[in-house]
Structure 1
Amino acid sequence: MNKDVKVINDRLQPRFKRVSQTRYWLQVADDHYGQTYNFFFNYQRKWQRLKSIPLHTITTYDLAYLETVVSELQTLTKLTIDYVGFTDQVWPERQQLIQKKRHGYE
């Protein structure tokens, strides 16, 4: 297991409570200025505010590396992953758009 995947998973698991009527997902943000990728654990109970917890920052600013990290995380967690700041970028291996929709705050 990749060391970044291990750090993210180790920080994620204690927070993932599997409470009913609660939505859980991961968010990956591309920080163009700092040249890093930031991972957040998001959850929202029905009728309550969104909570976002920073999990880890990857300093290896390489899409191919990020693609392997994300692929391992999807296999481990089965959580939905939301991407922010990846507009018009394509995964090197899969050749698919990373971010399908634009966020209003980009």
Structure 2
Amino acid sequence: MDYVISALQVIVSISILNVWLVQNKKPTRWRGGNATTIIEEFHVYGLSTGICYLIGFLKVTLAILLVLSIWHPFLKQPAALGLAALLTGSILMHIKIKDPLIKSLPAALFLVMCLFIAFV
């Protein structure tokens, strides 16, 4: 089971880092509303650019901590639960703007993974 948890930690971390550091200026089918960048997406949600940077900083930091928790297990639960809270916020923002539920699928999937990581 340890290998499964470690694999999930890597999958979640790489995915979060990819979204925030690599794909942040590229359109994806998962962006809220008709946004083409992550900053536009936050504006669609009614949130400021500053909030976008804050959430991005938190997600990147927690994703890095989640990977580091493979070697430092005391970081695992706080990092996974912190990401779970932020991913819940992502889902709620999609609901707020009445996006099709499919746009919440990645956040929901990673939320489940983070809860699994935190509690198993």
Question: TM-score, with normalisation over the residues of structure 1?
Answer: 0.30
Between structures 1 and 2, the one with greater helix share: 2
The higher relative CO (CA closer than 8 Å, separation ≥ 6) is in 2
Higher strand share: 1
TM-score, length basis structure 2:
0.27
